[in-house]
Amino acid sequence: MEMIFIIKWLLGTLFGIIGAVLLSQKTKYSKYGYIFFTISSLSWCYIGYLSDDMALVTMNMIFLLINCNGIWNWIVKRDE
């Protein structure tokens, strides 16, 4: 299977969906949705870079910062 296909569909799309589902639930595992969203954003940044789609890169860089903030507030800081 082609690596670009794996990055787009497994890491980008599927991990984004898993992240959304986790965050939408009210469970002790909801906070881990940010980790899935972070991996998804990194994947889409890479795909955008390879395809010279700077709008995709820009949007996902902003999402990446938001997701890192979520990880900090809901996983790192909360578990202190």
How many structural domains is the chain composed of? 1
Q: How far apart are CA 62 and CA 52, in angstroms?
A: 17
Percent of the chain at pLDDT above 70? 96
- Contacts of 57-66 with CB under 8 Å at 24 or more apart are 63/37, 64/38
Nearest CA among 54, 62, 63 for reference residue 20: 63
pTM attached to this predicted model = 0.89
Lowest mean pLDDT among 4-13, 42-51, 61-70: 4-13
Answer yes or no: are the C-beta atoms of 16 and 37 closer than 8 Å.
yes
pLDDT for 63:
98
Q: Could you say which DSSP state residue 28 is in?
A: T
Answer yes or no: are the C-beta atoms of 12 and 47 closer than 8 Å.
yes
Structural domain of 69:
3-76
Question: What is the mean predicted confidence (pLDDT) over 39-61?
Answer: 97
pLDDT tens per residue across span 10-44: 899 999 999 999 999 999 999 999 999 999 999 99
